[in-house]
Amino acid sequence: MIRQKKVAILRLKIIAVSMLAGLLIGLGAGLARNHKFALILGSFIPAVGNLVAILCFMFIPKEQAKISHDERDELIKKRALYISYCVMLSVVVIGLTVPFFMSGPDGMIPSYYLNILLIAILSVTIVTESVAVIFQYGWQEGEKS
Amino acid sequence: MNRWQKIAWFNLTVIAVSLLLAGAATGTLAIIIGMPGALGGTGFLGFLGLLGLQPVLFRKDKSKVSYDERDVQISRKSVILGFTASYLFFVFACMGCWWYARADGMIDVRILPLIVLGGYIASELVRSISLLAQYGRGRLETPDKVDHK
Q: Does A118 touch chain B (CB under 8 A)?
A: yes
- List, for residues B82-129, the tens digit of each pLDDT value: 988 998 999 899 888 888 887 678 888 888 888 888 999 999 999 999
Detail the DSSP E strand segments found in chain A.
108-110
Residues of B in contact with A105 (CB under 8 A): 109-110
Please name the member of A105, A109, A118 whose beta carbon is closest to the beta carbon of B106. Answer: A109
CB contact under 8 A, B87 and A108: no
Angle formed at CA A55 by CA A49 and CA A58, multiple of 5 degrees: 135
pLDDT of residue A53: 87
- List, for residues A85-110, the tens digit of each pLDDT value: 889 888 988 998 888 888 877 788 88
pLDDT band for position A141 (50/70/90)?
low
What residue spans define the domains of chain A? 3-137
d(CA B125, CA B96): 21
Q: In terms of Cα–Cα distance, which of B54, B112, B45, B117 is closest to B86?
A: B117
Separation of CA A66 from chain center: 29
Q: Does B103 touch chain A (CB under 8 A)?
A: no
What residue spans define the domains of chain B? 3-59+67-135
B35 vs B24: which has the higher pLDDT: B24
pTM, rounded to two decimals: 0.78
What residues 51-110 of chain A have any CB closer than 8 A to a CB of chain B?
78, 81-82, 85-86, 88-89, 92-93, 96-97, 99-100, 103-105, 107-110
Is residue A77 within 8 Å of residue A137, measured between CB atoms? no
Q: In terms of Cα–Cα distance, which of B75, B120, B128, B89 is closest to A90?
A: B120
